[in-house]
Structure 1
């Protein structure tokens, strides 16, 4: 059978799976769970996949109990579909992960049926994308090794997009430790941790002006003392430190910034403790050829789309870590207009009729792209 026929067949299968895809989207939307707490979502997805012949395991159970790996078939082509399903506190599915889960599962089921004996199909349940990023840990522990490609489609607003990248990010917390004293003590003045932190903040802003590559440094002071008449013995700054390339972030920015913090602490007679409070999210590498396949798929599905420049980035995602291991493409599909992600309005769009209709389109596009990639070799 020609691959065009297989792709059309996969789209037909997605239409047949509409109750399943809509059911996932609605069920997860009605039961939002934050990262590491996605028991309902994980159980729901595993049950559906098992009912369609997938075997389930969890190669990272000790670290992420709500993760899973579902596999079907034993063909030579190894294709991955990435499912996310964590929600945001209070807001719910303000990033549309209920739709990501629905699209990825629907696309995997359709692709498995169309590909037949040529493929082994992998669905990865990836918890906590909004916080600790399970795909970081999974990538480091070889979970995605052996895949020839992986796909995921993220909900977006105003227009469907292909291409772009994401920032590499490695958030860092600085805790300056001094010695407390009464501010009016005539002989003992202590060591002011807040003075050290404020000095560090100023030097951090000055350092930022010397950077030659695109970056983001955002910082807030979360602790600065307990009372104005006590010299602070502890002051804490949390920073998000990002760059378009993980090498620039890890090899240039972070070593420089940590040295500045140590120099400041020494100058003030204080100590400084530094800890990465979230894991390293690497920059996203969208595979150019897979982007072309998505463009063709959206054209065939009458979905209008824009193409982003290679250096266009708005945020960070642990999908970037997967893209450093295997070929990946992550388009955005429009589910609403004049709204922003991580808002209640976006959460409403993720549960809307338009959102679910677009999930069907996204699933079809993913299945078509998977068949395109398979067609390169098999």
Structure 2
């Protein structure tokens, strides 16, 4: 019997999968992988198979299940295993989504566009005033999604450094660092929610307190857990996608030239970048609550399941020249935002943030280039969010 390959593996390039993933993909579309703790889990790598299993009724998000696949020590904490939405199955999950969906709909985020454009324009003003070299992580990729989600939720932006650092530690720290950072965030949000009860302000937190907590639909602690997920997810993944997208464009000058020549390609280009980069290596960690037959395999009840966005997005059975960045690709299908009932709540907001940021940078700093070799960029992340710590550019 062939030994299960190890998962996750570390990236050495910001936008390319680890070298060992080629072997995993070739063994797919469904195979066993070996996790850090020696346990094995099923991994789905095919695009069609990913969409199929993500809508299967026997797939569960209950992280408290003893066999739930943990891909890194930092995800063993009690908070990580009991997150609202992410670690929930219907019907509670569906109820929460029904409360939140209107606030993240395409119509809702389009109303935010003028404000987003003003915010991004201000950041680019500061970058140009400072002059090259500029670190786009510190000057744009990190503060933009932080400010946007602060305003949307009604969280004081004065505290942004605290939750930026804390959310980073939750996603990429050691087990102890992640658990402490998660508890710090819970305590912080707990105080915010309590304040909204006494002194309501503007924003989604105040709305949910008024419309859901005070009516008895959800409890105080439930809202704290929901806000924790929104704060981390909205900041961490969008920040990383923005930085990785810039790097990828600068490293593919022929594709960047297409955008300069025809800015109307930008919406489709963002979908292709999301497909190509796969900021979140995994789009799902699950456990089977009943047998699942897929691609000639039977996943038995109680077995762990992982869905690889990185490999599904580069499935040669779906995409021609799947490993090539092609901003003119007609159908850049991807599962970067997941699929099915757990599909990313904030995907509309993420897309519009990326579109506004890329447009402003390409228009106002057309000669932008990396100030260091791409191999020298500091990268963190394996199996979760890929993060670039610094992105120095010049022009």
Please give the TM-score of this superposition, normalised by the length of structure 1.
0.25
Which of structures 1 and 2 has the bigger CA Rg?
1
Instruction: Please state which structure has a larger fraction of its residues in helix.
Output: 2
Structure 2-normalised TM-score?
A: 0.25
Greater share of strand: 1
